[in-house]
């Protein structure tokens, strides 16, 4: 905690006042001298005089900010991030809401993590944005924060950093883009990119069609409008209770997105006045509910890594076993691509997350608070589903169990994940010979070579693509199918890697194999021709090689050279944890206190 002592969820820091159980919004309003920003502005000293003088330099009158909650608006807008290109305008709506509620907003530009453009992968920089968020909020005179993001790694990064500081916080999702269109078809960004790229490789469409698809796939600002990683993580944020109700599915260019942003600005001022901090919201119960929602949505496998990391920053130990346990309690009810038919705009008008959560209310912890209500139960009261094809009834699910499965076995002793709702069901149990690639570039160069003799029954194995090996665990897990098999009509194969996969992707892809090959995990010992069995129902991934032979191979294995010799990359390689524990930095994930800065 920021004051160096442990507080109970809902307890107020100033004066030791405590919220009444179940009524976090019913506490006495804080006085101006109790605000955190008072340390910078309100004392009778040289430093406070200097802070006030410099604020006059910024052009603000004393009555505009003194004694008011100071709200940091952390904006991940960038000219090169199409998911966030509209957030410069949305920040004005947030600030409008803050002003209306009697607060004082200050906008801070922070790192943008563009899934589209940033290489080798924005996952390499998730923890960097988390650090920036934490230290910015800690070091400036702010009483609360509005976090603006949505592209895949941005949501967990912002919330990880904010959780480590533990101020009142509201998250504003960037929102999904409009549906794509091409020759009478409705396109889903990401999902249809993979689909039609394979069709091009198979020779069924040509360059003219691909040029048209370039202009029809992504038509507006906003993140992917499938249930990819972006929509999965913003839905998880709403389930955690850190957004205003319905926020995660509002289309980015809808006027409702402006209204949601303004409402978030108004809400954060109230949270500061009541001192409702993130620690009161981000509890074990909240994280279990977020896991249940992700699984019932058929959401992205990336959510496993991010939610484990986010929970760790909140002092909650979330594991792969929790995902597998909860997966057996919820069906898949969201008929959304890549596992279903519809897109996020359909989901929004079908009832959004309030309607969706009302379908699985029996497995949720309804008495926990959210940023907008004293309890999730109160927030969901009256929630409706308007289209039962998009948000299915419990009696008519897309799948009887949650959309992800956690695998164990001698090939993944620390676990692996598979999104079984987005794969051909004939691969739910499959045994085949391995074809091993040591790195992604070699795989790209050789995958179409008929001399490899790859058939639809082979198991494609990629190593060297994990947290350290990638580096940064890139989204290489949807390994391409050889072009000559695509021409024969093959559209799925079993593929195994220590990489991640885009949440918009699909197929029988086993991901996040831990430990990764770069640190000597069993994946490093697999050879072409070895037999591997995937059994999703049994939650098993097994390499059919005798233990004695594996030990001989291990003795001959040598660690690869360091990826980085200096800079942030060297820090990353030194501190990064494995996929099963969230890929956080050890020095950020470990328990401990950080003192408030002295502002006087």
Give the residue from 348, 281, 347, 343 showing the smallest Cα distance to 316: 281
Strand partners, 437: 462
Q: 5 pLDDT exceeds 80?
A: no
Q: 510 pLDDT exceeds 50?
A: yes
User: Residue 240 has what pLDDT?
Assistant: 99
User: Residue 561 has what pLDDT?
Assistant: 92
Count CB atoms within 10 A of the CB of residue 491: 15
Dist. CA 520–CA 535, nearest whole Å: 24
Alpha helices in 512-564 (DSSP H): 547-556
14 DSSP assignment:
G
The answer to whether 148 touches 76, Cβ cutoff 8 Å, is yes
Q: 161 pLDDT exceeds 80?
A: yes
Alpha helices in 101-173 (DSSP H): 126-139, 154-165
The reported pTM is 0.95
Dist. CA 173–CA 485, nearest whole Å: 40
169 DSSP assignment:
E
pLDDT digits (tens, 9 = 90+) for 409-434: 999 999 999 999 999 999 999 999 99
Give the residue from 175, 160, 505, 139 showing the smallest Cα distance to 347: 175
Structure tokens at 436: 């091993």
Dist. CA 79–CA 77, nearest whole Å: 7
Count CB atoms within 10 A of the CB of residue 50: 11
CA distances from 466 to 52, 474, 573, 577, 598 (A): 49, 7, 11, 10, 41
- Cis upstream peptide for 120 (omega within 30°): yes
User: Residue 26 has what pLDDT?
Assistant: 46
- Among residues of the chain, what percentage have pLDDT more than 90? 95
263 phi and psi angles, rounded to 5 deg: -65, -35
CA 402, chain centre distance (Å): 18
Count CB atoms within 10 A of the CB of residue 537: 10
- Those residues whose C-beta lies under 8 Å from the C-beta of residue 18, and which sit 6 or more positions away, are 8, 10, 11, 12, 27
User: Residue 562 has what pLDDT?
Assistant: 87
Which pLDDT band, with edges at 50, 70 and 90, does 577 fall under? very high
Average pLDDT over residues 305-319: 98
Give the residue from 425, 374, 437 showing the smallest Cα distance to 399: 425
Dist. CA 306–CA 123, nearest whole Å: 10
Average pLDDT over residues 501-520: 97
Dist. CA 592–CA 581, nearest whole Å: 18
User: Residue 66 has what pLDDT?
Assistant: 97
- Those residues whose C-beta lies under 8 Å from the C-beta of residue 84, and which sit 6 or more positions away, are 76, 77, 78, 112, 114, 148, 149, 150, 151, 154, 174, 221
Name the 3-class secondary structure at 387. Answer: coil
Q: 15 pLDDT exceeds 80?
A: no
Structure tokens at 523: 């994946």
CA 201, chain centre distance (Å): 31
Name the 3-class secondary structure at 282. Answer: coil
Structure tokens at 375: 């309890």
Dist. CA 435–CA 411, nearest whole Å: 15
Structure tokens at 391: 């948000």
Helix (H), strand (E) at residue 127: helix 126-139
Q: Which tops the pLDDT comparison, 179 or 23?
A: 179
- Those residues whose C-beta lies under 8 Å from the C-beta of residue 51, and which sit 6 or more positions away, are 40, 41, 141, 599
361 DSSP assignment:
G
Name the 3-class secondary structure at 524. Answer: helix
User: Residue 21 has what pLDDT?
Assistant: 38
Average pLDDT over residues 303-309: 98
Burial of 343: CB neighbours in 10 Å, binned 0-12, 13-18, 19+: buried
Give the residue from 267, 274, 243 showing the smallest Cα distance to 101: 267
User: Residue 452 has what pLDDT?
Assistant: 97
pLDDT digits (tens, 9 = 90+) for 367-390: 999 999 999 999 999 999 999 999
The answer to whether 210 touches 246, Cβ cutoff 8 Å, is no
Give the residue from 416, 500, 503, 489 showing the smallest Cα distance to 456: 489
Which pLDDT band, with edges at 50, 70 and 90, does 593 fall under? very high
Length of the chain, in residues: 600
Angle in degrees, CA 236, 366, 235, rounded to 5: 15
Dist. CA 35–CA 77, nearest whole Å: 28
Which pLDDT band, with edges at 50, 70 and 90, does 17 fall under? very low
């Amino acid at each position: 905690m920021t004051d160096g002592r442990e507080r109970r969820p809902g307890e107020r820091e100033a004066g030791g006042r405590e919220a009444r159980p179940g009524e976090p919004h019913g506490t006495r309003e804080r006085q101006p001298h109790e605000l955190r920003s008072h340390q910078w502005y309100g004392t009778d000293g040289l430093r406070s005089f200097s802070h006030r003088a410099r604020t006059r330099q910024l052009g603000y009158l004393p009555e505009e900010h003194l004694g008011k909650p100071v709200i940091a608006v952390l904006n991940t807008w960038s000219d090169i991030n199409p998911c966030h290109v509209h957030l410069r305008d949305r920040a004005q709506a947030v600030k409008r809401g803050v002003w209306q509620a009697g607060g004082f907003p200050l906008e801070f530009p922070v790192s943008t993590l563009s899934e589209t453009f940033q290489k080798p992968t924005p996952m390499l920089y998730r923890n960097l944005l988390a650090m920036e968020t934490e230290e910015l909020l800690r070091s400036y005179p702010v009483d609360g924060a509005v976090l603006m993001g949505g592209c895949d790694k941005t949501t967990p990064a912002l919330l990880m950093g904010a959780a480590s500081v533990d101020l009142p916080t509201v998250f504003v999702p960037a929102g999904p883009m409009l549906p794509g269109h091409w020759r009478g078809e409705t396109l889903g960004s990401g999902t249809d990119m993979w689909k039609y790229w394979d069709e091009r490789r198979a020779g069924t469409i040509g360059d003219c069609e691909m040029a048209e698809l370039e202009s029809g796939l992504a038509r507006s600002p906003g993140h992917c409008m499938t249930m990819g990683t972006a929509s999965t993580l913003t839905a998880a944020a709403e389930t955690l209770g850190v957004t205003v109700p319905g926020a995660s599915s509002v289309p980015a260019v809808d006027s409702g997105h402006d209204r949601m942003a303004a409402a978030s600005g108004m809400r954060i001022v109230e949270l500061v006045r009541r001192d409702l901090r993130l620690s009161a919201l981000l509890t074990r119960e909240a994280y279990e509910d977020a896991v249940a929602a992700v699984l019932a949505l058929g959401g992205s496998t990336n959510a496993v890594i991010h939610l484990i990391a986010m929970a760790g920053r909140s002092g909650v130990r979330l594991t792969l076993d929790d995902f597998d346990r909860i997966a057996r309690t919820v069906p898949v009810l969201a008929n959304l691509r890549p596992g279903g038919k519809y897109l996020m705009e359909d989901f929004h008008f079908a009832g959004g997350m309030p309607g969706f959560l009302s379908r699985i209310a029996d497995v949720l912890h309804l008495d926990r608070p959210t940023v907008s209500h004293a309890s999730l139960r109160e927030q969901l009261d009256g929630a409706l589903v308007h289209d039962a094809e998009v948000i299915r009834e419990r009696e008519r699910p897309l799948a009887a169990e949650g959309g992800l499965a956690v695998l164990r076995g001698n090939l993944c002793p620390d676990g692996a994940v598979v999104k079984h709702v987005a794969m051909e069901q004939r691969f739910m149990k499959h045994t085949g010979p391995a074809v091993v690639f040591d790195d992604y570039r070699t795989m790209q160069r050789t995958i179409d070579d008929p001399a490899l003799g790859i058939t639809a029954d082979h198991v494609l194995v990629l190593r060297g693509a994990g947290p350290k090996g990638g580096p940064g665990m890139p989204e290489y897990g949807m390994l391409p199918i050889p072009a000559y098999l695509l021409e024969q009509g093959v559209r799925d194969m079993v593929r195994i890697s220590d990489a991640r996969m885009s949440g918009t992707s699909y197929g029988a892809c086993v991901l996040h194999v831990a430990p990764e090959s770069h640190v000597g995990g069993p994946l490093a010992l697999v050879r072409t021709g070895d037999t591997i069995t995937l059994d999703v129902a049994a939650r098993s991934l097994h390499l059919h090689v005798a233990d004695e032979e594996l030990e001989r191979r291990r003795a001959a294995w040598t660690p690869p050279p360091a990826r980085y010799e200096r800079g942030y990359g060297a820090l990353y390689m030194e501190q990064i944890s494995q996929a099963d524990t969230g890929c956080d930095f050890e020095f950020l994930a470990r328990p401990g206190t950080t003192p408030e800065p002295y502002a006087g």
